[in-house]
Structure 1
C-alpha cells in the first residue's frame, strides 16, 4: 500500500521506518510546510513525491493512505481533506481535539468508503493482547495504577518563556492528551469505559496541564492514572486483583508483565520480546483491516478512540481547559 505523510518530525520518521520493516506499506509522498524539508525527507526514504501543498498531495491518485503527524490542533482539518479524497487515514494520537470532530470525521470516512485509524501503538502489541487475556482470567479486580511521567525537554523551553505546541492550548496541548492517552487507552482496552472520571491537574500559566491525576471509577474497582511532562517516574504500573496482581514495566509499550500470586508471592514472567520500533504492530493491523475489510475489529477501534476522547474531553471540561479549536 502506497502512503504519504503529513509532518517531518521524529515520530514521522519512526512510522516510515516501521512501515518499511512491516513490508505492508511503501512511502510514496511527504508533506511539509517547507518544500525543502519535504524534499529532504522524501529523498532520505526514496519517496517520489514531496509537497508543500496539501490539496495537491490529496489529489495524487497514487496515494492510498496517509499518516498524519501534524500538531494536534491540525489533525481534524487534515484528516477531513484526505478522507474526502478517499484516502485511508492513520492519525497520530490524540486523534482529534474533541468528540464533535471525531464523529464528523468518522462519518466522512464512512461516506467515502475508507478507514480512519488512531495511531495508538501500545494497544496493538502482542503483550497488550497477553495482558488482556490475563486480566480476563485474574478474577475480581479491585484497583489499578497506570502512569506515564516523562520530563520533557520542551518544558525547559517553556520555562525560558517559549511556548512549544505541546504546552499550548492553541495547539490542543497538555499532558493528558499527550502522554495521558497512553495509560487511558490501555485502561479502556482492558476494562472498557469507566462509569465516572475525575481529573486533578497541575496547571501551567499557558492554560494547559503539565501534570495530573485521573481517577476512573468502575463497578467494584478504581483505576488511577498519573501523567506528567514536568516530572519523571521510576516505578511500575500495576493491576490489583483479589488473588493476583499484574506488574507492568511500562504502558507504552508493555515490554514485561509479571503475574504475582497474592498468597505465595511467587512471580511468573509473561510477555514477548517486541520489535525495537513497536509502531510496526499497528501498521500490520491497520493494513490487515483494510485488505480484509474487517469491519468488526475496526468498529472496536473506533469505539476505543471514542471512549478515550470522551474521557479526556470530560476531564478537560472539569478544569476549564479549552483548546483553540473550541473557542
Structure 2
C-alpha cells in the first residue's frame, strides 16, 4: 500500500488556540500543516518554525485562499473577522473550519453555507467539546436519568484580558467591534451542550451583566423545554468551580467539567452504587474534532455534515436572541 495522503491544512491566526488545533490535527493523523497566515511575515515565519520548514507563508488572505498549498483552513482570527476571512476561502473552493463562535449573525452563517454549497466544500464550526468521546458517552447515557427534571450547566472562567478592561482598555474579546463578550466566547459551550443533548428550547432568557464596553461579562441563562428547564451559569469576569448536572426521576448524571470531561458518573436516586462512565482523557482533545471533520471531507458524508451544520445554526440563532434581549448588538449587525 502507498503512503497515506493527509489533508493539507492552512491556518489563520497565530495564537495559543491555533497551536492547540495544529497539535490536535497532527495527532489525528488526518492533517498536515502546509501554510500559515499572519499580518506580518516575521510573525508568520516565527510561528511556522515550530512545525518544520514545509509551510508557505502569507500576509494576504486572498493569496492564501487561491493557493494550491492547502485543501482546508482553520480560522482563529478575532470573532468579528471570521466571516470575511471564511468567505474568501470558501469562494476559492477550500474547506473551512472556524473557531467558535463561527460568525456574528445567522445571516452571515446562511450566506456562508450557501457559498460553501455552491463551491462543493464544507464549512465547520470548531466546537471541540461535542466531538469528545466522553461527550458522546454522555449523550448515550442520557436515558439513565429517566424522565428529565432539569439540568445545570456551568462554564465561568476569569479572563486575563478582563484586567485590561479594568485598566481602561478594550481588548477584542470584550469589544462590540470584534463581536466579543462572555456569551459568544464561553457561554457558547453550554449552549452547544444543551442543544446537542436536548434540542432547541421552547423559550430562552438571559440575565446579562453588561460592561462599560457594551458587551456582556456574565449572567445566568434559563432554557425552557416545556416540562423541564436548563440553567446555564457562564461568564468571563469571575471563575466558578461548580460542576454540571443532568437530573431526572431515576437519578443524576454528574459531569466534571463541562468541556474536556474528565469524570462522568451516574448517581441513582435510591442509593445505588455510583456508576463511573468516563473514558481516560487524552493530552489534546482537539484531535477528535480535527479527525471528525477530515472524515466528513474524505467520505463526502453529507448527512453527518448537515447534522453539524444544523446544530451550528441553532446555537448561533439562540445566541443572537439572548444577546438581543439585553440590547447587545455587534458592529457586524449595524
Report if the CA contact (8 A) 1:142-1:222 is conserved. yes
Moved runs in structure 1, 4+ residues, more than 4 A?
none
TM-score, normalised to structure 2, is: 0.96
Aligned partner (choices 67, 76, 96) of residue 89 of structure 1: 96
Q: Which runs of 5+ in 1 are unaligned?
A: none
Report if the CA contact (8 A) 1:39-1:50 is conserved. yes
Report if the CA contact (8 A) 2:35-2:55 is conserved. yes
Aligned partner (choices 116, 122, 129) of residue 129 of structure 2: 122
Counterpart Cα distance in 2 of 1:266 and 1:204: 46
Task: Give the Å deviation of 1:265.
Answer: 5.2
Aligned partner (choices 11, 18, 34) of residue 12 of structure 1: 18
Match of 2:172 in 1: 165
Q: Which runs of 5+ in 2 are unaligned?
A: 1-6
Secondary structure class of the residue paired with 1:227: strand
Secondary structure class of the residue paired with 1:61: coil
Task: Give the Å deviation of 1:169.
Answer: 0.6
Counterpart Cα distance in 2 of 1:214 and 1:293: 37
**Number of residue pairs aligned between Structure 1 and Structure 2:** 327
Secondary structure class of the residue paired with 2:208: strand
Counterpart Cα distance in 2 of 1:253 and 1:9: 20
Verify: 1:306 aligned to 2:292, yes or no.
Answer: no
Task: Give the Å deviation of 1:42.
Answer: 1.4
Task: Give the Å deviation of 1:297.
Answer: 1.0
Verify: 1:23 aligned to 2:24, yes or no.
Answer: no
RMSD across aligned C-alpha pairs, in angstroms?
A: 0.9
Report if the CA contact (8 A) 1:246-1:258 is conserved. yes
Match of 1:320 in 2: 327
Counterpart Cα distance in 2 of 1:202 and 1:192: 26
Task: Give the Å deviation of 1:137.
Answer: 4.0
Aligned partner (choices 214, 217, 232) of residue 225 of structure 1: 232
Report if the CA contact (8 A) 1:39-1:51 is conserved. no
Counterpart Cα distance in 1 of 2:282 and 2:226: 36
Report if the CA contact (8 A) 2:82-2:102 is conserved. yes
Aligned partner (choices 197, 203, 216) of residue 223 of structure 2: 216
Report if the CA contact (8 A) 1:215-1:222 is conserved. yes
Task: Give the Å deviation of 1:91.
Answer: 0.3
Counterpart Cα distance in 2 of 1:276 and 1:201: 34
Aligned partner (choices 55, 78, 82) of residue 48 of structure 1: 55
Task: Give the Å deviation of 1:244.
Answer: 1.1
Task: Give the Å deviation of 1:256.
Answer: 1.1
Secondary structure class of the residue paired with 1:273: coil
Report if the CA contact (8 A) 2:145-2:247 is conserved. no
Aligned partner (choices 39, 42, 49) of residue 36 of structure 1: 42
TM-score, normalised to structure 1, is: 0.98
Describe the shift of the 1:225–1:246 C-alpha distance in structure 2 as closer, same or farther (beyond 3 A): same
Secondary structure class of the residue paired with 2:141: helix
Task: Give the Å deviation of 1:176.
Answer: 0.3
Counterpart Cα distance in 2 of 1:296 and 1:136: 24
Task: Give the Å deviation of 1:235.
Answer: 1.6
